Amino acid sequence: MTTFPVRRIAVAAATTITLLLPLAACTATADVTPKPVPAPTPAPPAAPTTQLPRQKPAADPPVPSRTTATKTGRTSQPRKTVVAGTDLFGTQYAYVTSYRGNRVTFDLVEYFEWPDAAKACREDHFTTGEGVLCHDYYIRNKNLRLRRLGADPAGRYTMIDPTTGDSVRVSMAKFLKQAKTGQHLIKLTIDGGRILGAEEMWML
């Protein structure tokens, strides 16, 4: 009978299969093992932004103070303080800026006539064409103070009548009220720390 050799072949085949199964399993396992995924390359860090400190907007440059002559010869400039005019004496020229009762605040100026007027204009670098300004008269106003003095109600006060051009005597109250309105150059008579009288100057 041939049964024995066949049985031996079958056993050998089974043994071979048994030995090959683990190897096949290992091969299959090796084939399905996932390949490692490379880590993503990190993006380069952003450059730090430099926060500049906020700067205040540049202020407008200060406007230089200057003296400006007008067509009347009077100059305009900022006023700073009001002081007592007790240092004044004799004839003075001024513009009334305000008053309360007989307390008068005025803007003291320098008044020039004829050759002195022409000389003062040249010194102030102020030129004009034909006319009386800088020829007949000139008014310089460079002080930065207003003066204040009491006025004598019984003093002599005269204003120019616009219709006749004559000097008319008026009360102190009427004089101060009219002198404050508009640009009326007045000549003051001062003595003992008070205004004894005033008259309006005729200006063209």
Residue 181's pLDDT band, with cuts at 50, 70 and 90, is confident
In terms of phi and psi (left: phi > 0; alpha: psi -120 to 50; beta: otherwise), the region of 20 is alpha
pLDDT at 24: 45
Whole-model pTM: value is 0.62
Residues 14-39: tens digit of each pLDDT = 555 555 455 444 444 444 455 555 55
pLDDT at 144: 87
pLDDT at 18: 52
Higher-pLDDT residue of 116 and 12 is: 116
Residue 196's nearest CA partner among 140, 166, 157 is 157
In terms of phi and psi (left: phi > 0; alpha: psi -120 to 50; beta: otherwise), the region of 77 is beta
Residues 93-147: tens digit of each pLDDT = 999 999 999 999 999 999 999 999 999 999 999 987 778 899 899 999 988 899 9
Residues 169-180: tens digit of each pLDDT = 999 999 999 999
Domain spans of the chain, in order of start? 69-200
